[in-house]
Chains A and B, each alone.
Chain A
Amino acid sequence: MGRMTTIEEITSSILGDKYYKIHHKSGLTIYVYPKDGFKSTYALFGAKYGSINTTFQKENGETVTVPDGIAHYLEHKLFESEDGDAFAKYAKTGASANAYTSFDKTCYLFSCADNFEKSLQILLEFVQDPYFTDETVQKEQGIIGQEIRMYDDDPNWRVMFNLLGAMYHNHPVKIDIAGTVESIAEITPQKLYDCYNGFYNLHNMALTIVGGKAQPESIIAMADKYLKDAPKKDVHSTFPAEPETVVKDYVEQKFPVTVPLFHLGFKENMQKERLTDKEMAESEILLFAMASGSSELYRTLEEQELINNTFDYEHFEGPCYSSVFFGGESKNPKKVAEIIRAYIDNLLVTGVSEKDFKIAKRAVYGADIFSFNRNESIAGILMECDFSDRELFHYLECIKNTTLDDVNRRLHQQFNSNHSALSVILPLNNA
Chain B
Amino acid sequence: MNGINRKSVATGVYFNSIKETRFKSVKISVTMIVPLEEKTAPSYALLPSVLTYSCEKYPDTTALNRALSHLYGAGIGGYCRKMGESLGVTLTIAGIDDRYTMDNEKISTELVNMLCEIIFNPKLENSAFCQKDFDQCKRQLLEAIEGEFNDKRGYAISQMVSEMCNDEKYGIKRYGSKEAVENLTVEDLYQAWKNILVCSRVEVMMIGSSDTTLAENIITEKFSACERTLPEIYTEIRKDISEIKTKYESSDIAQAKLVMGFRTSTAQPNDNTLPMSLTVAILGGTPSSKFFLNIREKLSLCYYCAARYDKLKGIVIVDSGVEKENIEKTIAEVKNQLEQMKQGNITDFEIQAAKLAIINGYKSVQDTVSGMESWYIGQMLDKKILTVDECVDILNNVDKETIISLANTIKLDTIYLLQPSEKAKEEN
CA–CA, A362 to B366, complex, Å? 28
Judge whether B24 and A15 touch: CB under 8 Å: yes
Judge whether B288 and A96 touch: CB under 8 Å: no
Select one of B25, B68, B139, B296 contacting A373, CB under 8 A: B25
Judge whether A373 and B24 touch: CB under 8 Å: yes
Judge whether B100 and A152 touch: CB under 8 Å: no
In the complex, the chain B residue whose C-beta lies closest to that of A360 is: B69
Select one of A87, A211, A305, A372 contacting B287, CB under 8 A: A87
CA–CA, A294 to B75, complex, Å? 12
Judge whether A150 and B255 touch: CB under 8 Å: yes
- Decide yes or no whether A319 CB sits under 8 A from chain B: no
CA–CA, A97 to B150, complex, Å? 29
- Decide yes or no whether A240 CB sits under 8 A from chain B: no
In the complex, the chain A residue whose C-beta lies closest to that of B303 is: A146
Q: Mark B349-371, 1 if CB is under 8 A from A, else 0.
A: 10011011101110110111100
Judge whether A147 and B363 touch: CB under 8 Å: no
- Decide yes or no whether A366 CB sits under 8 A from chain B: yes
CA–CA, A293 to B94, complex, Å? 16
A146 touching B360 in the complex, CB below 8 Å, given contacts A257-B149, A362-B70, A366-B72: no
A293-314: which have CB < 8 Å to B? 293-296, 298-299, 302-303, 305, 308-310
- Decide yes or no whether A113 CB sits under 8 A from chain B: yes
- Decide yes or no whether B252 CB sits under 8 A from chain A: yes
Q: Mark A104-116, 1 if CB is under 8 A from B, else 0.
A: 0000000111100
In the complex, the chain B residue whose C-beta lies closest to that of A212 is: B367
Judge whether B150 and A369 touch: CB under 8 Å: no
Select one of A37, A95, A111, A153 contacting B255, CB under 8 A: A153
- B1, B65, B360 — most chain A CB neighbours (10 Å): B360
CA–CA, A16 to B209, complex, Å? 15
Judge whether A94 and B357 touch: CB under 8 Å: yes
Q: Mark B332-360, 1 if CB is under 8 A from A, else 0.
A: 00000000000000000100110111011
A258 touching B139 in the complex, CB below 8 Å, given contacts A97-B287, A111-B364: no
B41 to chain A, nearest CB (A): 20
B68 to chain A, nearest CB (A): 8
A152 to chain B, nearest CB (A): 5
Q: Mark A146-181, 1 if CB is under 8 A from B, else 0.
A: 110110110110000000000000000000000000
Q: Mark A345-372, 1 if CB is under 8 A from B, else 0.
A: 0000000000000011011111101101
Q: Report the contact-size class of chain A (Cβ under 8 Å from the partner).
A: 35 or more
Does more than half of chain A's interface fall in helix, strand or loop, or is it mixed?
mixed
Judge whether B150 and A155 touch: CB under 8 Å: yes
B222-244: which have CB < 8 Å to A? none
B51-66: which have CB < 8 Å to A? 61-62, 65-66
Select one of A87, A113, A309 contacting B140, CB under 8 A: A309
Q: Report the contact-size class of chain B (Cβ under 8 Å from the partner).
A: 35 or more
Judge whether B288 and A88 touch: CB under 8 Å: yes
Select one of A38, A150, A153, A258 contacting B147, CB under 8 A: A258
Select one of B22, B69, B150, B357 contacting A36, CB under 8 A: B22
- Decide yes or no whether A72 CB sits under 8 A from chain B: no
Judge whether A374 and B368 touch: CB under 8 Å: yes
- Decide yes or no whether B398 CB sits under 8 A from chain A: no
- Decide yes or no whether A412 CB sits under 8 A from chain B: no
For A152, list chain B residues within 8 Å (CB): 254-255
- Decide yes or no whether B251 CB sits under 8 A from chain A: yes
Judge whether B25 and A40 touch: CB under 8 Å: no
- Decide yes or no whether A428 CB sits under 8 A from chain B: yes
CA–CA, A365 to B357, complex, Å? 36
- Decide yes or no whether A35 CB sits under 8 A from chain B: yes
In the complex, the chain B residue whose C-beta lies closest to that of A358 is: B70
- Decide yes or no whether B321 CB sits under 8 A from chain A: yes
A258 touching B146 in the complex, CB below 8 Å, given contacts A153-B152, A294-B66: yes
Select one of A87, A143, A370 contacting B288, CB under 8 A: A87
For A294, list chain B residues within 8 Å (CB): 62, 65-66, 68-69
CA–CA, A324 to B316, complex, Å? 42
- Decide yes or no whether A259 CB sits under 8 A from chain B: yes
For B139, list chain A residues within 8 Å (CB): 305, 308
- Decide yes or no whether B378 CB sits under 8 A from chain A: no
For B96, list chain A residues within 8 Å (CB): 366, 369-370
Judge whether A143 and B287 touch: CB under 8 Å: no
CA–CA, A303 to B136, complex, Å? 8
A91 touching B356 in the complex, CB below 8 Å, given contacts A142-B300, A149-B323, A359-B70: yes
Judge whether B102 and A91 touch: CB under 8 Å: no
- Decide yes or no whether A233 CB sits under 8 A from chain B: no
A20-39: which have CB < 8 Å to B? 35-39
Judge whether A146 and B321 touch: CB under 8 Å: yes
Judge whether B288 and A91 touch: CB under 8 Å: yes
Judge whether A146 and B323 touch: CB under 8 Å: yes
For A14, list chain B residues within 8 Å (CB): 100
CA–CA, A44 to B254, complex, Å? 34
In the complex, the chain A residue whose C-beta lies closest to that of B148 is: A258
CA–CA, A308 to B143, complex, Å? 8
For B150, list chain A residues within 8 Å (CB): 155-156, 257-259, 261, 329
Q: Mark A135-151, 1 if CB is under 8 A from B, else 0.
A: 00001001100110110
For A369, list chain B residues within 8 Å (CB): 24-25, 72, 96, 100
- Decide yes or no whether A93 CB sits under 8 A from chain B: yes
For B353, list chain A residues within 8 Å (CB): 91-92, 94
Judge whether B300 and A362 touch: CB under 8 Å: no
B128-149: which have CB < 8 Å to A? 136, 139-140, 143-144, 146-147, 149
A308 touching B102 in the complex, CB below 8 Å, given contacts A38-B367, A370-B96: no
Judge whether A259 and B143 touch: CB under 8 Å: yes
- Decide yes or no whether A292 CB sits under 8 A from chain B: yes
- Decide yes or no whether A256 CB sits under 8 A from chain B: yes
A302 touching B136 in the complex, CB below 8 Å, given contacts A362-B73, A369-B72: yes
- Decide yes or no whether B45 CB sits under 8 A from chain A: no
Q: Mark B16-59, 1 if CB is under 8 A from A, else 0.
A: 00000011110000000000000000000000000000000000
A372-430: which have CB < 8 Å to B? 372-375, 400, 428
CA–CA, A258 to B303, complex, Å? 25
- Decide yes or no whether B189 CB sits under 8 A from chain A: no
Judge whether A114 and B360 touch: CB under 8 Å: yes
- Decide yes or no whether B302 CB sits under 8 A from chain A: yes
Judge whether A292 and B360 touch: CB under 8 Å: no
For A259, list chain B residues within 8 Å (CB): 143, 146-147, 150
For B152, list chain A residues within 8 Å (CB): 153
For B73, list chain A residues within 8 Å (CB): 362-367, 370
For B71, list chain A residues within 8 Å (CB): 362, 366
Select one of B94, B149, B296 contacting A258, CB under 8 A: B149
Judge whether A428 and B367 touch: CB under 8 Å: no
A257 to chain B, nearest CB (A): 5
Chosen A-B contacts, 19 in total, with CB atoms closer than 8 Å, are: A15-B100, A91-B357, A94-B359, A143-B300, A146-B321, A146-B322, A149-B254, A155-B150, A156-B150, A256-B149, A257-B147, A258-B149, A258-B150, A293-B65, A305-B136, A308-B140, A360-B69, A363-B69, A364-B73
Interface residues of A (CB under 8 A from B): 14-16, 35-40, 85, 87-88, 90-97, 111-114, 139, 142-143, 146-147, 149-150, 152-153, 155-156, 211, 256-259, 261, 288, 292-296, 298-299, 302-303, 305, 308-310, 329, 359-360, 362-367, 369-370, 372-375, 400, 428
